[in-house]
Structure 1
Amino acid sequence: MSRIDSMFARLREKRECALIPYIPVGYPTAKESESLIRAIAESGADLIELGVPYADPLADGPTIQEASLAAVENGINLKSCLSMVRKLRASGLETPIVLMGYCNSFLAYGLEKLAEEAKLAGVDGFIIPDLPSTMAKPWVQIFESRSLQVIFFLAPTTSEERASAVVEQGKGFLYCISVAGVTGERESLPEELPKFIKQARTVTSLPLAVGFGISNEKHVREVSEYADGAIVGSALINVIKQAPPHEIEAEVRRFILKMKQATRKAATPI
């Protein structure tokens, strides 16, 4: 089993929802990034989504756009991200890691080269927001030949054709979009979200992780009642932005601990 599959199987037995934080590599600074990612893992993250900084992140709202641009200005690129994963694995980190990035940067690097180096570095999979599921087969073949899982998006507005392609090709888990639009903190989650997740379960056996708008413990607790994972991005970035520089790591640890605790309290049999 892959690290991702093993993680979800373990949590299912414990009746827990997976906590999946997102953070761009190189944020808030290139120097702080490695220790901050390690702190996120040590504080309870079950899987970490590392953002590959990109100048025009289409799926992201203002908070993550700003963080991604800061990482680009810090000199971080795809090669830096692979190097970061190598360092984390060399230090003993076993938490599953997926890279979230966009087609252009991956194509420019070279898919075969990327797949080979990602596997050697210890990457477990990829999330590629602008890769249409109906056109993804060549990408999936290249990545899966190195045991790298491609995680696809599923939204309430996904067409039947695209949903079919997602279910057929997806591995690891499905990234279920809670709301239309881009990432960002929100006061409440849509009332129809549980129904969407219930419907998704009728067409796939993959774990279902909810992202876009998961902003606080209440949201994580709510999502844990019907989904297998809660993805937290903008809320974590805001914790980093608002913390005094010398307290960033401590604040991040507190935040992740609280969020993970919410997955335990609300967990129900899956």
Structure 2
Amino acid sequence: MTLPRPGFSAYITIGWPNPGTFEKLVETLSECVDFFEFGVPTPRPIYDGPTIRETHAEALKSVSGWRDALKLLSRLEIGDKRPTIIMAYMSDHLGHLREFHEEAASAGARCILYPDLPFEHPEKLWLYVDESERVGLKPCFFASSRFPHRWLLTYAALRPLFIYLGLQPATGVKLPIAVEKNVRLAKKLVGDVYLLAGFAIRDSETARRLIEVGADAVVVGSAIIRAAKDRGLDEAKRLACSIHQAVHAERA
């Protein structure tokens, strides 16, 4: 169970803006991404930016909960050709964590990424690992650029599917050199563990630079969603394909 190196992932909130268009968007982007990250709609997306928060609110108008979201996800015909990562908030699922992991695995997920795990529920780390492995999922972890090094080393020792490094600037802000240094440092700490960089990536040049300095893959959400919302699915595909090409050209 591995992800391609280098790799490019697109983030989409499940059911945004409605189930039919969501399925069309996934189909449209499929040939331009290496794997998908799908967000389970939640009324409390506290670690997402304004664009993604809006998609959660819109999706919840037609997706009536996490079971409904995973059923929609299971209908997608992307299979092993495009691995699936689920992003969810652990706070939403503590009362039914085992069932949620079981249903996520049945829907085709490779791992469940909980961005609130290290900040709000660090004591649940081993429960998360155990429940993931019990149903055949790999653990995957979120870390910020200012994350304590000891936690990155702990995560790396667990041999996760990936570590997601959340970059500091907001989407649309040009990445400063300090972020490139953070990526280099994180990669040095985690070694051959897959490092996925996200946040603040809006174009092919930024993606190329992050792969160049050590990221194994990048994930783009807000920029693709804005393109789809403002200019249509074909424009979202054009953006995704340009980033995919830049990522793969960097290590060709």
- Fold in common (TM above 0.5): yes
> What is the aligned counterpart of 1:258 among 235, 242, 245?
242
RMSD of Structure 2 on Structure 1 (CA): 2.0
Q: Which residue of 2 aligns with 1:193?
A: 179
Structure ranking higher on relative contact order (CA contacts 8 Å, 6+ apart): 1
Q: How far off is 1:124 after superposition?
A: 0.9
In structure 2, relative to structure 1, the CA distance for the partners of 1:121 and 1:19 (3 Å cut) is same
Give me the whole-angstrom Cα distance separating, in 2, the residues matched to 1:82 and 1:257: 26
> What is the aligned counterpart of 1:72 among 44, 60, 85?
60
1:127 maps onto 2:116 in alignment: no
Give me the whole-angstrom Cα distance separating, in 1, the residues matched to 2:239 and 2:80: 20
Q: How far off is 1:212 after superposition?
A: 0.8
Equivalent position SS for 1:164: helix
Q: Which residue of 1 aligns with 2:41?
A: 53
Give me the whole-angstrom Cα distance separating, in 2, the residues matched to 1:147 and 1:68: 28
In structure 2, relative to structure 1, the CA distance for the partners of 1:95 and 1:192 (3 Å cut) is same
1:225 maps onto 2:225 in alignment: no
1:23 maps onto 2:30 in alignment: no
The one-letter amino acid paired with 1:107 is L
The one-letter amino acid paired with 2:39 is G
Q: Which residue of 2 aligns with 1:163?
A: 152
In structure 2, relative to structure 1, the CA distance for the partners of 1:92 and 1:137 (3 Å cut) is closer
1:202 maps onto 2:183 in alignment: no
The one-letter amino acid paired with 2:28 is A
Query: Hey, which bits of structure 1, 4+ residues long, moved more than 6 A?
Result: none
Equivalent position SS for 1:175: strand
Structure 1, unmatched stretches of 5+, are 12-16
Q: How far off is 1:76 after superposition?
A: 4.3
The one-letter amino acid paired with 1:145 is R
Which aligned pairs between 1:206-217 and structure 2 lie closer than 5 A? 206-217=193-204
Contact 1:30 / 1:76 at 8 angstroms: preserved in 2?
no
Q: How far off is 1:224 after superposition?
A: 1.9
Contact 1:134 / 1:165 at 8 angstroms: preserved in 2?
no
Contact 1:48 / 1:95 at 8 angstroms: preserved in 2?
yes
Structure 2, unmatched stretches of 5+, are none
TM-score, L = length of structure 1 = 0.84
